[in-house]
Structure formats: C-alpha cells, structure tokens
Structure 1
C-alpha cells in the first residue's frame, strides 16, 4: 500500500529542514520507530537505537548496509514508492523488512525528502514494525474467510480445517498445525496438512491419558500442555521416536472444549526446533482455539442435523407402514412415503394433487369429518382406527390408521401411519367362521354322544334290567298264589333283584365312576381296565406308575378318563384287536396320554361316520388339548392327546 503526499500544489521541491541539531537528535533517539537519515540513493548516514534493535545491525554496520539489504525490493511497490517520493517529496508504504539474520517481517515506511543547511538533498525515513497489526489483520481476514467457508452447507469440515491451518502456518513461518478429533477415548486425525504422513499414521488412535504425548495429555487433563523439548520430556517417552524421526522437536497442545465442557479434540503446534510459544503465538493460538470451537460445534451440529434428517427421510420413505401427511385446514396431501405410493397406486405428483378425502369411501367420510373437527377444536389428535380406503384402481382396502397431530413446514398437519390389514381382517373373519363351525361340530358331537349314551342307557334298561325286573315281578305274583313254591320263588326274586341292582351299579359307573371322585383317576382307570378284562379277552398293558395326578384339576381328570374309556370301547367294538397299551406321561408342564392297539386300523383320510373319535377330539379341544391319530388299514391305531397341566 502506497500513500504519497504532495508538498504544495505548484512545487515538488525538497522540504527545507530548519530544526536545530539538538532537538533533532532527541527526537530520533526517543522514537520507537527505526530512523534512517540517508541520501537519495539509499546510503545510510545516521540511524537510531530503535533501528539497531529492529534490524539487528550495529550503528557501524548500518554505515555499510544498503537500502536493498533492509527492505525487500522484490516487492514491486518499493520502486513505485521511490518514484512517488521523488515526485511529491513524501511517501508512505507498507512492505517487507529484512533483518540481519534474513528474517522478513512487515513494516510501514514513512519517508520525506528535505534540503539541509548546506543545500544537500537528504531523506528522513521512519520504519515501523507492523508485525502485530499485520498479524491481527491477517487473522481477521482468515477468520472471516473460514467462517464463510464453514457456513456453506456443502462444505466439509476437513476442507475448512485444512485451509485454516495452512493460513495460520503462513502467519508464523515454521509452525506446523494439527487438529485431532476425540472419538471415545482416542484421538484421530481431523486435519494436519503439513504434518509428516508417517508421523500422523503412527499416532492415529492414541488413547487419552496422562503422559501420552502433548495431545493425549491435554485432552485427558482438559488443559494446555507445552512441551518445548520432545526428546527430554517424560510425557513423550512412548512417542518421541516417531516425532524425532521426522525432525519434530517441540509440541504444544490445547484442548478444544465446547460450550458443554466436552472435549471435541486438540489443536497442536509443532516446530522443528526446541521452542516455547512467543506472546504473538499465544495470542494467535488463543484466537484459533475459539474459532475452532465455533467451526467444529457448528459443523458437527450441522452434520448431526443432516444425519438426523437423512435418517428421518430413510425411515420415512422405507417405513413398512404407509405414511400420509395432510394439511388439517384444506385437507391437501403434503407428503407421502414410498409404501403409500406403492399401496395406493398414485405417483408422488398425483398424490400431492389429492385431498385426504379422495381415499375415503363416501359412507365413511362423515365419521372422518368428525375426527377432523375434533382435531381442529382440541388442537390434538392421537387415535388408531380401522378405515376403508380406496386405491387409484378403485380397490377397497382395510387400513389400520394411527393419526398424530404435527407441525409440518410451519403449518398444522396430521401424520397418518397406515397398515394394510385387509388380509388380516379377512383371515380373522375366516378363523372366526371356522371357530363357529368347529364349535357347532363340537356341540353336534356332544349332543350325538349324549343321544348315543341315552340310547345305550335305554337299551340297557329295556333289554337287560327291565327284563330282570319283569321276571322278578312274575315270580312274586306267582308266589302270592302258590304257597307250595312261594319260598323258592321269593328266593329267586331276591337273586334277580340283586342282579338288577348290580346291573344298575355297572350302568351308573359307566356314566360317572364313583372311584374317580373318591379314590382318584388312576384307581378309576385300574377299575375300568379290570372290569373290561373280566368280560373281554383283550389284553391291556398300562404304563402310568410314574404319573402324578395331584397337579390335575377334576375336569381334566374326567376328560382323560372318558377319552380312555371311549377308545377302549372303540377297540373292543370295531378294532378286533388282541392287545392294547395305555400310557400317561408328564413332562415340561404337559400331560400326554397314548392309546395304541394292534387291530384292523383305518384310513385317517376317509370321512368317519362314527362318533367315538369325534367325541375324543371334542373332549380334547374343550380342554385345549391337541390330538394326534396315526392309523392305516391292517396296522392298528395310535391315538395321542396332550394337555397343558394347570
């Protein structure tokens, strides 16, 4: 930057210098800026202590130094500024100064031409070190640029960090910057554009703990860690070989802590020399830490929001339930997911032209309107109901809809999640119908069984007991008229009466065995088997010695008794079997009984007209039992029934 100042509108001649020598010397010696008295070609005639301190030359050395030695003439602004000074007599410029050790630094130069008392043209030049103002301006420029980059929605955090770190390195030559991210209990490279790749790889995933290098320790303690000499610092004992191999000699690390006091990562500064931070570097680092917190928090929140939005979109579009969002005021559909598009047959564009009423049949719209009014009046809707919906093709489907009040794009809306339960409802209706039919079959079987029992009881009473009682009646009537045979006839009548009583007792036991109520299931079964063996040649083997009936209720005991009784009757009447085996087992909360015989068997696929097997199945189902029947013609039969023991 060059500023030139004309001396007068009509003259460009040098300015006369009329100050006394004493006041002149006091002025230049007290100045904080470097002062040079030179001739126009740049030869230095006189300087002050500030110049000696600023550039590193002694007063004697300055007498042999040229203008090119202390000012960077590769800057094109320098020759232009000299021409301006020759033209106007004064100039101000910002350029680069050069110290004796070769280090360059930003300076501001103010130079003016004048004529001394001898009439010689001289120049008076003040040089100000503007490193700090320049650094602050550069930092402000960089920070502004970084925040602009970070604000872009498509910018990557790694790109932003890389740019920022490189710019900081330009302000402080020799500085190597690195930012590590804390994930879990380990640090991972976020951005280290100038750090040797091998070194970055070697420290990747370092665990945060005390004495784990500068960064691991800083993140662990939540405080800055300044290591001026890596080789001789105990905190680098396990990592110094990696750093020294790449020429890294010092490392300062600062934890980056967010507003919640959580460590996001570390900001590290490396130098290839043993070094502690200067005041200027500390100021840069402090500003950088604050900017990094802003960058990282902002970008991480943005990425978290982006991830949340993407997750929402994924869950929304890939949800197995159809989702329709509609405006509660005008009822227009404002959003749908892929499941709804596939189910209803409309494209997304077509759907967004509909109102939600378009998918409801006319007969249900009145009820639906009540729901809408309720939502408008109360400002809240959260209901699950079954509705009929109409697809684009006109097909009517049954939908289970869960409706929820939401705010969508700043407006009140309803989110409706729907599951197509058409097949489920039809299946439930079918099962209900089947249950009705099954219940009717069970009822029919019970009635048929009862009728059969009544017929058998009637036959038994008529053909057996009635005949015995009729004979008894004849004997008694004859005894009344025949004294000679009276005693014998009464005795015969007594015997017949006892026989009738025995037959009635047997008939009673077949209906409800008294032993089941008095002595239990197993004893009643033993009596049943014993009675059958008495009058039938069927050989029956029983296996229920290890069965404990105490856990069974009375109803289940009676069911088991009746099933065994029914099947034994079936075997005797129809199977023509020689052997039968009955077993009862108990395991894992289930009671299973198995009845098998070596009779003629039957085809299980053929429709059965008898009520015996039906009765067994009916009794089992009433008690939630499962029946298995295995049989083939000529191969006997196996019936297995399992109940859950209460």
Structure 2
C-alpha cells in the first residue's frame, strides 16, 4: 500500500504529470467522512478534502491560504498551537479537541488527530465532530436519573388530559399524592379525579376545562382532599394542544404540591401584618422611601403628627421635600454614598421642614433594605428640639454656675486680701511700730539701751513668725517635694505649735489613687477648716481623718468647740471656700453643728 503522506496533494504540490494517480488519490480522500487536511509550519491550510464543507460549511477552495487561527476559536487556538509544538518535538501522533466556528456562525467541538512530517515540514490532520463517549452517555443517563428524582423531591407530577374521553393519563406521583394504587395504564377519569377536589374548588376547575378553546395556557390552583383526609394545595401549569381547525384535543401539564409554599406565604403575610402594626403604632416617627425615585412609600401616625401632613399628602412627597432647599444637595450625595451598603445603620442630625414651613432638628437613624419593589431606606426621625433646648439650658446653667464660682473666687480673694491687710495692720504693723519706738528711745534713754535692744529683738522675731504664718496660709504646700501624708502632717504640726487644742490625725490613703490636684484640694480644705477652728471654735480637741481608695475619697474635721447656728451662719469666707473646692470635684458636703455642740465637717468625693 502506498504512503498517502507522500502524495503531492497533501503536500500542497501540483504537477501536470501523473494525472491518473492524482485523480485516484483525490477521489479516495474525498470519500472520507472525516476532514483530511495538511497545514504548513505556520498553520496555513495546504490541502483539505471535500468533507470540510459538511463539517464547517467551507469549500476546500475557501480554506486555501487560511490559518488554523481563523477556524479555531478562543483559548483553543493556543491549545492547537501547543499541540503543534509538541508534534514538532517528535511525538508521532497527537489527539486534541477544539471549538471551531462554522460558516453559519455556530460553534462545533472538533476532534483532531495530527502528525508532523519533519522532512517535508507539513502537519497532517484528520478532523471530525466529537461524538459522545461511553462515559459521557453514562453521565447523561445519571443526570436524567437525578432530574427524575428532583421532580419527585419537589412533588412535581406530569399529566395529559384527553378532551374526547375526559380521561387523565398521569405519572405515578399523582396517584401517590392522592393515596391511590397506581394502575397499569396510569389513567384516571375526570370524574374520579374530581372526587378528590375540595367542593369549593370544583366549579373553578370545571370552568377551566370548559374554556379550553379560548385559553391556550391555563394555569390554576385548587385544593385536594387526600384519602387520609389531609388537605393540600396544588398548582397546575398546562398547554392546550389543538387540531388543524384550532379545536382543543389534548391538554398537557404539570402539577405541584404547593402546601408548604402556601403556608410560608401565609406566615410571611402574618409577619408583614405584624410589622405594619408595629410600624404604624410606634410612638417614634418612621417613614420609608424608594432609593431610586426618592418617593415616600410608607409613613406611620407619629410621623404624620410630627410633620403636619395627612397620609395622602405624605405619600405624594419625596424625601427631598422634607429638607430645606439649602440642605438638599447634601442629601443627594449621602444617598449616593450609602445606597449599596445594605443593612448598615446610618445616624446623623439634620434640619427638617414641617408642612407649615417651620424648621426643626431631627436625629436620623436610617438603613438600606431590599424589597421586591427595589431598594428602600427605612428612616427613624426623632424630633430633637426639646433635647437641644435642654442641652442649651444645661450649658447656660453651667456657664452661670461657672460665673458664680468665678465671682465667689474673686470675692474670696478680695476677702483674703482684707484679712491679710488686717493681719498686717493690726498685728505685724503694730509690732514693728513698737520696735521703732524702742530703737528711737535708745538715744533719749541710753541707760535702758540693753533692755530696749532685747525687747526689739523679741518683737522683731514675733513679727517674722507672724509673716511666716501668713505665708504658709497663702503659698501652696510643696506636695511635689513631699508625699501627701508628709505635707498634711507638716500642716497639722504648725497648728500643734500654736498649742491651742489637741489634734488627733488618722490617715488611710492609697496615694496612687489621688491626683496631685485632689491632694491640693484636700490640703486646702483641712487648712481652711483649721483656720476657722482657730478663729471661732474655742475647741480643746480636733479630730482629722483622711481616707481614700480607688472608688471613694473622704475627709472629715471634727471639733468639740462652741459650734454655731447653721441656719444663720453659712456664708462665711471659709465655708464658701470649702464649698467651691468641693463642687469642682463633684463632692458632697455634710456639715453638722449647733451652738454648744461642736462642729463636724464630712466631705466625700467620687474617685474618677
């Protein structure tokens, strides 16, 4: 047998001689039902037999000079060229499948067998339409089986109704659904089937069967009472088959048990009714608008009351209409920014406008939800007018309180200056005046010089001590250099030095829980009350206690002095100083006193 690959036809050669041989090979190649062709090293057609027309719709003449790239589509071009490259590496025969575009524009899956002739630099190819393999047929059979099982899973039945005999031919599932034995011919009369139809639905089904000449696709639902007494809902989808004259001769259809679907729809409807009840009866103003049209589609009674529109007027508005004109561009931008952020909650405060044109502030809580009618936004709009007014009142009250505190501080400072001036004038100034007289009399009475000098030294030291006492009361204690306990102890020792009364001191403080500012506040409170006791109490015993932990700070100063009437003596400088310092740190003052009963000052602070 002669090697066909050596024929001039497959190599794209033409010769004037050997006409009989060429005609023989030409007829032999054209007799093949598969495409036999040859390509050059660049993938261009050199020859193809007439089977190319049956496979692709192109004649051999049309394919001459075409590249395989013009026939193979998409990623398969690269696959084909890769196969060609492998063939050139010496692999004798390569098989590959590619998608090819036919002349009519349709695609076909083509199976190729290719072999490279390195000597002649020609690729020999055999191409045919790919046929399903045994595995593919088995896979298809399995898929059909799965489809049948899927019909059973969804309770789908098929049926055919013969108009002339008024008989249904149906699948097994219908008999199973009714609870009947399956007959061999799978037939049931219309009368027998109607005996299972709910009495209230028989007229509806009869009307469907009597209007088959007018309705080509009758779709309907009815209820069935099964042999077990169970009531189910069934939906049917059908097509009427007619004769040449248009008369109905047969109806083909499918039915499905939709009981669960009906129950689900009823639950959804019930849920929607509950939602509407909650929505409409809520005391919080709520509304809903369509994201695309911006039209308000739902509004509750609280919103109607807040904005002044009736329901019909409200549903004729867009959400833009509720904003003043100068704020509307901001709303457009906000909607575009958040329209695709589903289920997120957006909170902000804006000005809204009532029907009468009045403006008010609302706190907006909005979320994007998706309904069957499109994207919507559910909006809660709380009127913030009263809350803002209250905030302004609180701010004003705080400002007023701060002014009062500042005023009290100034008054206290002025009073302290008066006290200091009085101390300097009545005490230090008098002592220094006496010293001056002694010094001046030394010249007049030289015999008393030693006595005058000694008395001057004593009085000068007394003046120094008085000035030191004033300084201690004015200058802040050096708490940064001493720990808090040491600073308080030093203060108490000063009053002990005066030898006016006995002092008992108790200290239970975890200093890490006290800020420097709080330490200074406690120091000043103790100092202020001790000064009050020195000036007014005539006490013989004073008990000072300071305690602090991570939750509470407490200070108490208790004396057994003469006390005072708390109803008439509450505006003294010392007491006011203590009150002001306590209010700064939100402390609570408990002052217990009465004439002849001593005085107990107890102050507690929250430890923040």
1:386 corresponding residue in structure 2? 349
Contact 1:328 / 1:372 at 8 angstroms: preserved in 2?
A: no
Q: 1:629 to 1:488 in 2, by over 3 A?
A: closer
Deviation at residue 432 of structure 1 after TM alignment:
0.6
Deviation at residue 561 of structure 1 after TM alignment:
1.5
User: Of 522, 529, 539, which residue of structure 2 is paired with 1:560?
Assistant: 522
Deviation at residue 529 of structure 1 after TM alignment:
4.2
Which secondary structure does the structure 2 equivalent of 1:641 belong to?
A: strand
Q: 1:376 to 1:618 in 2, by over 3 A?
A: closer
Q: 1:144 to 1:452 in 2, by over 3 A?
A: farther
Q: Following the alignment from structure 2 to structure 1, what is the Cα–Cα distance between the partners of residues 272 and 477?
A: 75
TM-score (norm 1): 0.49
Which secondary structure does the structure 1 equivalent of 2:572 belong to?
A: coil
TM-score (norm 2): 0.51
1:214 corresponding residue in structure 2? none
1:369 corresponding residue in structure 2? 328
**Where in structure 2 are the equivalents of 1:415-434 lying within 5 Å?**
415-434=378-397
RMSD over aligned Cα atoms: 4.8
Deviation at residue 336 of structure 1 after TM alignment:
0.6
Which secondary structure does the structure 1 equivalent of 2:185 belong to?
A: helix
Q: Is 1:445 aligned to 2:411, yes or no?
A: no
**Where in structure 2 are the equivalents of 1:156-305 lying within 5 Å?**
167=226, 169=227, 295-296=259-260, 298-299=261-262, 301-303=264-266, 305=268
2:183 corresponding residue in structure 1? 131
Q: 1:492 to 1:368 in 2, by over 3 A?
A: same
Q: 1:576 to 1:325 in 2, by over 3 A?
A: farther
Q: Is 1:399 aligned to 2:362, yes or no?
A: yes
Contact 1:603 / 1:631 at 8 angstroms: preserved in 2?
A: yes
| CA distances 1:156-199 after superposition (whole Å, capped 9, x unpaired) | xxxxxx975x52x3xxxxxx69xxxxxxxxxxxxx699xxxxxx
Q: Is 1:336 aligned to 2:299, yes or no?
A: yes
Q: Following the alignment from structure 1 to structure 2, what is the Cα–Cα distance between the partners of residues 490 and 93?
A: 148
Deviation at residue 457 of structure 1 after TM alignment:
2.3
Q: 1:395 to 1:370 in 2, by over 3 A?
A: closer
2:27 corresponding residue in structure 1? none
- How many residues are aligned here? 386
User: Of 552, 574, 581, which residue of structure 2 is paired with 1:619?
Assistant: 581
Q: Following the alignment from structure 1 to structure 2, what is the Cα–Cα distance between the partners of residues 494 and 453?
A: 29
Q: Following the alignment from structure 1 to structure 2, what is the Cα–Cα distance between the partners of residues 632 and 332?
A: 73
Which secondary structure does the structure 2 equivalent of 1:133 belong to?
A: coil
Which stretch of structure 1 is more off in the superposition, 434-443 or 616-625?
616-625
Which secondary structure does the structure 1 equivalent of 2:461 belong to?
A: helix
Deviation at residue 520 of structure 1 after TM alignment:
3.9
Which secondary structure does the structure 2 equivalent of 1:316 belong to?
A: helix
User: Of 468, 471, 482, which residue of structure 1 is paired with 2:431?
Assistant: 468
Q: Following the alignment from structure 2 to structure 1, what is the Cα–Cα distance between the partners of residues 192 and 525?
A: 96
Contact 1:592 / 1:643 at 8 angstroms: preserved in 2?
A: yes
Deviation at residue 446 of structure 1 after TM alignment:
2.0
Q: Following the alignment from structure 2 to structure 1, what is the Cα–Cα distance between the partners of residues 296 and 182?
A: 64
| CA distances 1:604-627 after superposition (whole Å, capped 9, x unpaired) | 6x7954332221122123234333
Q: 1:142 to 1:612 in 2, by over 3 A?
A: farther
Contact 1:380 / 1:404 at 8 angstroms: preserved in 2?
A: no
Deviation at residue 511 of structure 1 after TM alignment:
2.3
Deviation at residue 597 of structure 1 after TM alignment:
4.8
Structure 1 unaligned residues grouped into runs of 5+: 1-91, 95-128, 153-161, 170-175, 178-190, 194-289
Structure 2 unaligned residues grouped into runs of 5+: 1-164, 168-180, 205-221, 233-254
Contact 1:541 / 1:582 at 8 angstroms: preserved in 2?
A: yes
Q: 1:327 to 1:434 in 2, by over 3 A?
A: same
Contact 1:540 / 1:579 at 8 angstroms: preserved in 2?
A: yes
**Where in structure 2 are the equivalents of 1:520-599 lying within 5 Å?**
520-532=483-495, 535=498, 541-542=504-505, 544-574=506-536, 580-587=542-549, 589-597=551-559, 599=562
Q: 1:472 to 1:597 in 2, by over 3 A?
A: closer
Deviation at residue 426 of structure 1 after TM alignment:
1.4
User: Of 457, 465, 468, which residue of structure 2 is paired with 1:502?
Assistant: 465
Deviation at residue 478 of structure 1 after TM alignment:
5.3
1:223 corresponding residue in structure 2? none
Which secondary structure does the structure 2 equivalent of 1:559 belong to?
A: helix
Contact 2:166 / 2:189 at 8 angstroms: preserved in 1?
A: no
